[in-house]
């Protein structure tokens, strides 16, 4: 998959463990940070205290306003970032801040509305539609657990 290749290639180009910044306001961000933690220096920026409390010890956490430059300061030496916020407008703003203010080369933006993909395509390195991923995964699980829904 192209999205995975771009992020994996960016992280592989770093000397030592790569630094991945995850900006999220939900448990999806903490799960993503946990998934990358063994192989990368992971930093989570969130405004969701509950999500921040569910991380392995190796993940650095900053809790605050995710649109604030002070809160996003963890991006200064990051190799890549993933922005996964509940509100697409906020995700676009944070993606733009990371690319322009912090000069971050690789930013993956996770959006909820697939129709907003074009609006973010010029800002983010990669745009992923969370709604599409969720629907695909749910369909796969339903087909696997309920034989009546198996494809013909």
Lowest mean pLDDT among 3-17, 112-126, 128-142: 3-17
SS3 35: helix
pLDDT of residue 22: 93
What the block records as the tokens of 35 is: 């998934």
Question: DSSP letters along 88-127, please?
Answer: HHHHHHHHHHHHHTS--S-EEEEES-GGGHHHHHTTSSEE
pLDDT of residue 11: 56
pLDDT of residue 89: 93
Does the pLDDT value for residue 64 go beyond 70?
A: yes
- This prediction has a pTM of 0.80
pLDDT of residue 14: 55
**Beta carbons of 66 and 90 less than 8 angstroms apart:** yes
pLDDT of residue 2: 52
CB count within 10 Å of CB 40 equals 19
Establish how many alpha carbons lie within 13 A of residue 97's alpha carbon, considering only the half-sphere containing its beta carbon.
20
pLDDT in tens, 15-53: 678 999 999 998 888 888 888 888 888 999 998 777 667
pLDDT in tens, 85-97: 999 999 999 999 9
What the block records as the tokens of 44 is: 């989570």
Kindly report the average pLDDT of the chain as a whole number: 85
**Which CATH code, of 3.30.450.20, 3.40.50.300, 2.60.40.10, 3.40.50.720, is assigned to 2-149?**
3.40.50.720
Structural domain spans, the chain: 2-149
């Amino acid at each position: 998959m192209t999205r995975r290749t771009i992020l994996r290639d960016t992280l592989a180009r770093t000397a030592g463990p790569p630094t991945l910044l995850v900006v999220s306001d939900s448990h999806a961000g903490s799960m993503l940070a946990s998934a990358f933690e063994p192989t990368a220096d992971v930093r989570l920026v969130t405004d969701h205290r509950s999500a921040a409390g569910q991380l392995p010890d190796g993940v650095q956490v900053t809790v605050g306003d995710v649109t604030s430059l002070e809160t996003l300061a963890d991006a200064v030496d990051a190799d890549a970032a993933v922005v996964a916020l509940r509100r697409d407008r906020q995700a676009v703003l944070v993606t733009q801040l990371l690319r322009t203010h912090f000069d971050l080369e690789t930013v993956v933006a996770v959006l909820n509305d697939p129709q907003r993909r074009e609006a973010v395509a010029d800002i983010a390195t990669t745009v992923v539609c969370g709604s599409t991923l969720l629907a695909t995964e749910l369909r796969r699980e339903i087909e696997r657990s309920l034989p009546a829904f198996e494809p013909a």
